[in-house]
Every structure is written in C-alpha cells, then in structure tokens.
C-alpha cells in the first residue's frame, strides 16, 4: 500500500477545486485506480466537466477532452489511415483517443456510430482501422459525461453496451451551504485568487503500480459470495423479495460481479485497507449495477427506479 499517500494528495487537489460532491470525487479516484471507465450523469452545471479536468490536472499524463456533437464522425475520435504522398503509402494518424485520460464530454449528443466506436475502444483498449489494431496507452481511462436523457437532441447510449462502464454515477445538486461555498470560491478566484489548488503531480508509473496493488487486494470467500448473491439477485429478485418476481426484465451479467470486485477493492484501497469488507461492496453497489439492469413495465408502473431496486436488495440480503 506504499503508493496510497500520492492518491490522498490527488484527493486534496480535487477537493481544493470542487466543493462537496464527495461521491463524484471518490468515483473518479476509483476509475483512475482500476482503469475502469466512468459514466457521470447529472443536470448541466454540476461540475462534471470541471471535476474530470481537475483530475487530469493532478496527474502527470496525457489528457484529451472530446466534445461529443451531432456532426462528429467515428474517425474524428479514433484516427484514420491517410495517404502519404512522400512514401506513396497509407499510414495511420492517431485520433484524440490516443491519450491517457479521456474526457468524453456530453457523450449522448453524438450519434450511435460514434458512441459505438468509443465503447469498442474502451472494451478492447485498442482501435482497429483497415484491419490493423493500434493499442491505446496503458493508463487509458475514459470519463464520459451525460445530461439526463429526457433532453432534446440526445441519443441514448446502446443499452447492451452500457456495461462497458465500470460505474454509472448519478450526481445530485449541492446543498445550500455547498452552493454558498461554490460562490465564495468563485469570487475569491475572481478577486486575485488567494487560494491556489493543492499541487498534485501523480506519475503514470505510480498509478500503474497502484492498479496492481488494487488487483491484489484480499477478497475473503464470504465477501465473494456476498457479491455473487447481490448480482444474482438482480436476475432473481423474488428469491429475497417475493413481491418483486417480475420487476427486472434483464439482470446484471457476470461482468457486473467482476466490476463489483474491482470497484470494491479500489474503495478499500482508498480507505487504506488491504482487504475488502462488505461495506466497500455496499458503497459501490448502486453505481456498479444501475446501468446493467433493465426494469420491467411492472416496476416502472410502480415508479420504482434501478436505485430503489438495488437498495431494496442490499437491505434484504444478509451481510456476511
């Protein structure tokens, strides 16, 4: 656990820029620590873009913001083969995706073709163009943002590919006190910036070393069984809550179980623990599971959300 202090510095760096939103900052750290991609969702103006830029400014690695717009083409993000008149041959020119930290901003404003190109690259950590594969950086991690889907002019992400995201984080409005602090901080910046961001220079090698440590975090058999029960319960909720027999149309896949283990391990690491406890699992469960299940009409008619169902199942399943 020797790399952990550098992550605490990064955390303080983020907190010196973003007021509150602890859950969001926590999830950003988990993404970095696992290489797991994040889908960050909220109404506009809740610091999604600012938070991802803040993490990039605290890590000594390549950063690219890709603004997703209706006219974007897949090649605009992946790169393409171009003819080189000097050699008389084609050569691959890398697109903006070939950077360590990617902010895929307002991802649901681009058409499905572009979204698919991104999701494929996320899944395979490579881009395949004209039959040739090009590997993305070791540190590669995508932090995508989206506004709520009801907004006009948006394309929902393909449901079947949403599980490429390790976590789907839904961000809420700040409290009144936090909003006051946001205003204060903005005014201070405006009038001569007496408060500088906490300096963080996290090195890529440190991040990669930490990822290896996270992968080796101890998982007790009882904790593994608990995670499996939780994911299985999204397929068979009636096992725990008989009334919920036909509430979930599609449950989470085994990929969710692996994601739960990764996210819970990173959560334990951030607490300075070398082993996962059930509380780590409970803390990340909703963000790991909410985008991996499809509710039935029955559940929707009762106005239940994925969040409600996950909470109900977590409450119902005995903690080891």
Q: Using CB under 6 A, list all residues that contact ligand ADP.
A: 18-21, 42, 44-50, 145, 174, 182
Dihedral sign, Cα of residue 184, residue 18, residue 47, residue 102:
positive
Please choose which of ligand ADP, Mg ion, none residue 18 contacts, taking the beta carbon within 5 to 8 angstroms, the exact cut-off set by kind. Answer: ligand ADP
Determine if 49 is a binding residue for Mg ion (CB under 5 A): yes
Structure tokens at 91: 């050569």
CB of residue 103 vs Mg ion: minimum separation in angstroms? 9
Q: How many CB atoms within 10 Å of residue 309?
A: 23
Please choose which of ligand ADP, Mg ion, none residue 5 contacts, taking the beta carbon within 5 to 8 angstroms, the exact cut-off set by kind. Answer: none
Helix 204-215 to helix 254-270 angle (10° resolution) is 120
CB of residue 151 vs Mg ion: minimum separation in angstroms? 13
Q: Which is nearer to ligand ADP, 38 or 314 (CB)?
A: 38
Q: How many positions of this chain bind Mg ion (CB under 5 A)? A: 1
Determine if 232 is a binding residue for Mg ion (CB under 5 A): no
Please choose which of ligand ADP, Mg ion, none residue 126 contacts, taking the beta carbon within 5 to 8 angstroms, the exact cut-off set by kind. Answer: none
Helix 254-270 to helix 278-289 angle (10° resolution) is 130
Beta-carbon contacts of residue 229 (< 8 Å; ≥ 6 apart)? 317
Structure tokens at 106: 């307002």
Please choose which of ligand ADP, Mg ion, none residue 45 contacts, taking the beta carbon within 5 to 8 angstroms, the exact cut-off set by kind. Answer: ligand ADP
CB of residue 105 vs Mg ion: minimum separation in angstroms? 6
Determine if 21 is a binding residue for Mg ion (CB under 5 A): no
Cα–Cα distance measured from residue 238 to residue 246, given in angstroms and rounded to the nearest whole number: 8
Cα–Cα distance measured from residue 54 to residue 28, given in angstroms and rounded to the nearest whole number: 10
Please choose which of ligand ADP, Mg ion, none residue 61 contacts, taking the beta carbon within 5 to 8 angstroms, the exact cut-off set by kind. Answer: none
Reduced to 3 states (helix: H, G, I; strand: E, B; else coil), residue 141 is: strand
Q: Which is nearer to ligand ADP, 46 or 129 (CB)?
A: 46
Distance, CA of 141 to chain centre:
9
By CB under 5 A, the residues from 25 to 44 that bind Mg ion are none
Residues that bind Mg ion (CB under 5 A): 49
């Amino acid at each position: 656990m020797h790399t952990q202090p550098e992550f605490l510095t990064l955390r303080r760096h983020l907190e010196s820029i973003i007021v509150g939103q602890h859950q969001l900052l926590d999830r950003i750290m988990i993404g970095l620590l696992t290489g797991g991609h994040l889908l960050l969702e909220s109404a506009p103006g809740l610091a999604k873009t600012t938070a991802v830029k803040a993490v990039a400014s605290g890590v000594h690695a390549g950063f690219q913001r890709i603004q997703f717009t209706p006219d974007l083409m897949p090649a605009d993000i992946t790169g393409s083969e171009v003819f080189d008149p000097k050699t008389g041959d084609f050569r691959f020119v890398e697109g903006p995706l070939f950077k360590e930290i990617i902010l895929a901003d307002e991802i649901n404003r681009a058409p499905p073709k572009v979204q698919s190109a991104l999701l494929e690259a996320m899944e395979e950590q490579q881009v395949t163009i004209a039959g040739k594969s090009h590997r993305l950086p070791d540190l590669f991690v995508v932090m995508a943002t989206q506004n709520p889907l009801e907004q006009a002019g948006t394309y929902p992400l393909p449901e079947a590919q949403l599980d490429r995201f390790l976590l789907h984080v839904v961000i809420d409005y700040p409290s009144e006190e936090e909003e006051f602090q946001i205003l204060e901080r903005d005014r201070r910046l405006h009038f001569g910036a007496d408060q500088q961001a906490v300096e963080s220079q996290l090195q890529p090698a440190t991040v990669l070393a930490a990822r290896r440590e996270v992968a080796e975090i101890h998982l007790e058999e009882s904790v593994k069984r608990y995670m499996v029960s939780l994911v299985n319960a999204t397929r068979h909720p009636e096992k725990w809550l008989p009334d919920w027999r036909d509430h979930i149309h599609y449950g989470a896949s085994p990929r969710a179980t692996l994601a739960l283990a990764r996210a819970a391990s990173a959560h334990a690491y951030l607490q300075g623990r070398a082993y996962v406890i059930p509380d780590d699992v409970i803390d990340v469960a909703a963000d790991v599971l909410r985008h991996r299940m499809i509710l039935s009409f029955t559940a929707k008619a009762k106005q239940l959300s994925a969040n409600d169902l996950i909470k109900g199942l977590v409450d119902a399943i005995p903690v080891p």
